[in-house]
Every structure is written in C-alpha cells, then in structure tokens.
Amino acid sequence: MMSSGATGSALLRRLGPRLLSASSAVPTEHYWAPRGLPTRRHASTTSPEEKKEEEGAVTAGENKGVVSYWGIGSSKLVRDDGTEWRWSCFKPWDAYKANVEIDLKKHHVAKTFQDKLAFWTVKVLRVPTDLFPKRKYGYRCMMLETIAAVPGMVGGMVLHLRSLRRFEHSGGWIRALLEEAENERMHLMTLMEVFKPRWYERALVLVVQGVFFNVYFLGYLISPKFAHRVVGYLEEEAVHSYTLFLDAIDAGLVEDVPAPAIAIDYWRLPPNATLRDALVVIRADEAHHRDVNHYASDIQYQGQQLREVPAPLDYH
C-alpha cells in the first residue's frame, strides 16, 4: 500500500504545475485549451459593419484559445445551407418557424372582478406608451420588450424555487415561462439592431425595470392567477402594437429596412427578409404568449395548480 507521504508527492507531481504556475513544463496550449474551442466571438448586438471589423480582428488573433480547466470544446455548427453558425447566444436547434396562422384577434372576455381589474390595469399602463408618435413605433416596441421579458423570468424563478422547496415537479411550467422570457429577449435583441437605444432610453429602462420587476414579483407571490391574466392582456396589447407598427411600415412612416441577421437565423426567415417580415413573426410570438398566459390563469381559476396541468412546451 502506498504511504501517505508517497501519495502526497505523487499528487503534487501531477497537480503542482497546474495549481502553482501557468508557465509550467505542462504544454499549456494543449493541456488547458482544447483544440476546436471557438475563438470567434459573434455578439448578437453587432451591426454588419462592426461584424466585419470584428472578424478582421479575430483573424489576427485566430489561435488564441480560452484558458479553461473544463477541457471540452464546442463543436462547429452549421446552418441548413452548410455555412458556419454565427451565434453563440442561441443554437440552430433553438431556431424555429413562428406560427403566423395564429388567431390575432383572440380576446379573453373579463367576467370576474379580478379579470376586469387585470384588463383595466393593462389599459391604463398602455396610455403613456400611446404618446409615441407613429414614426417612433419602433422605439415604443423596443422599450416595451424590455418589460415584456420580465414576467416569464419572474414566474419561472418563483416556480423553480417552489419546486425545490416542496420537492415537487413543475409540470413543465418553469421551462415554458423561461422560454417565454428568452423569446421576448430575442425580440429585444432584434429590435435594438434597428432602433439603437439612446442614453435616456437606457436610463428609463433602468428605473422601469427596477420598479416593474419588484411589483410583478410581489404580485406573482400574492396571486399568480392575477399575474398571468395581466400578462395575457399585456400580450393582447402587444399584438395590437405590432399591428400598428406594421401599418406604419405599410403607410411608409417607418422604413422597411433589411431584417437584422439575428432575426433571419432565429426565425428561419429567408435571407432577403425585411423588418416587416421580422415583425410578423414577433407578433405571432406575442399571440402565443397571450394564449399561454391566459391558459395559465384559467388553470388556476378552475382550482388547479399549474404543475397539475402539462405546460405547452416546445413551441419556442
């Protein structure tokens, strides 16, 4: 049997160079940085011009691997046409074709006091956003997306923690709500490519997010039934807002520029897609969120817990 002293020195021989020095006799590049680790950074926020600059810079430092103990490299991914997948923020299997056949006019008729309160809360919240002139609809939608991505994350987080505390399954609702949050965030990542946020818009988001996150979090703890109903009505308004936005494009008030690259890959749009095409699929997403959230509220109205009814998964 090996003595403890011998074991210690064997361990030191093996681990010493790793723990004590990066410039040890161990061939660092092979040992730490696996071959094939992507050296390119494809931020979703870069414009085509910035991308060219970035790609130039990357060529200069092509062989720089990320130093990591992990030792697992990402495999190279390709699009359907065989070209290299450019995004690190989402993968080809996250991309999808939106269901643009979805009923855009669907409306949940508020009958109970709570539902009427949810409906009118949203109607009142909408008033300040209507102050945006039609030419500025892009900015309005971009700002609203910074809010729209909050409820799914809050609901998903609350259900996640509840699942841990109670040792119980979620029925898929954690994933469904987090998927909604991610999908809304991709709406924002798309719109900000076209409508660059200015400093005062960023400042406004800072304040509004601080307030809205906390209010919605408390609201979700008190009554998830009410919270989901509010989001259902918010999504009805989102569908309406995107319809007005599309009308503004059709009327020539907003220029129909080429769709951002991120939108083309995320929604599997044709290469020549325009902003209008991107808005059509975003609007379909909003209609889907509307249905999911009204459904989540209905489940609880009927006296059931969300976890008891399977969540609508795998659309996004």
Would you count residue 286 as binding Fe ion (CB under 5 A)?
yes
Residue 112 tokens read as 């109970």
Would you count residue 294 as binding Fe ion (CB under 5 A)?
no
C-beta atoms surrounding 300 within 10 Å: 18
Would you mind telling me the total number of residues written for the chain in this entry? 316
Nearest distance, CB of residue 141 and Fe ion, angstroms: 8
Nearest distance, CB of residue 183 and Fe ion, angstroms: 7
Would you count residue 231 as binding Fe ion (CB under 5 A)?
no
Q: How far apart are CA 266 and CA 124, in angstroms?
A: 33
* Residue placing its CB nearer to Fe ion in the complex, 115 or 184: 184
- Do 283 and 247 form a contact (C-beta atoms < 8 A)? no
Q: Beta partners for 274?
A: 258
Nearest distance, CB of residue 138 and Fe ion, angstroms: 13
Q: How far apart are CA 216 and CA 150, in angstroms?
A: 8
* Residue placing its CB nearer to Fe ion in the complex, 238 or 296: 238
Would you count residue 254 as binding Fe ion (CB under 5 A)?
no
Nearest distance, CB of residue 63 and Fe ion, angstroms: 40
Q: Which residue has the tokens 């020095």?
A: 21
* Residue placing its CB nearer to Fe ion in the complex, 77 or 125: 125
Q: How far apart are CA 271 and CA 259, in angstroms?
A: 9
Q: Look at residues 276, 310, 282 and name the one whose alpha carbon lies nearest to residue 96.
A: 282
Residues 58-117 that bind Fe ion (CB under 5 A): none
**Candidate segments 80-88, 153-161, 177-185, 308-316, binder of Fe ion by CB under 5 A:** 177-185
Instruction: Compute and round to an integer the Cα radius of gyration of the chain.
Output: 24
Residue in 115, 179, 184, 236 binding Fe ion, rule: CB under 5 A:
184
Nearest distance, CB of residue 62 and Fe ion, angstroms: 37
Nearest distance, CB of residue 188 and Fe ion, angstroms: 7
Q: What letter represents residue 67's amino acid?
A: V
**Candidate segments 28-36, 43-51, 187-195, 224-232, binder of Fe ion by CB under 5 A:** 187-195
Q: Look at residues 182, 194, 131 and name the one whose alpha carbon lies nearest to residue 156.
A: 182
* Residue placing its CB nearer to Fe ion in the complex, 32 or 285: 285
**Candidate segments 68-76, 233-241, 253-261, 267-275, binder of Fe ion by CB under 5 A:** 233-241
* Residue placing its CB nearer to Fe ion in the complex, 55 or 237: 237
Nearest distance, CB of residue 286 and Fe ion, angstroms: 4
Residue 274 phi/psi, 5-degree rounding, is -115, 175
Residue in 289, 294, 307, 316 binding Fe ion, rule: CB under 5 A:
289
Residues 135-174 that bind Fe ion (CB under 5 A): 145, 148
Count residues near Fe ion (CB under 5 A).
Answer: 8
C-beta atoms surrounding 230 within 10 Å: 24
Q: How far apart are CA 282 and CA 262, in angstroms?
A: 13
Nearest distance, CB of residue 118 and Fe ion, angstroms: 16
Q: How far apart are CA 228 and CA 180, in angstroms?
A: 12
Would you count residue 187 as binding Fe ion (CB under 5 A)?
yes
Q: At what angle do helices 173-194 and 150-166 cross, to 10 degrees?
A: 160
Q: How far apart are CA 266 and CA 281, in angstroms?
A: 10
Which positions touch Fe ion (CB under 5 A)?
Answer: 145, 148, 184, 187, 235, 238, 286, 289
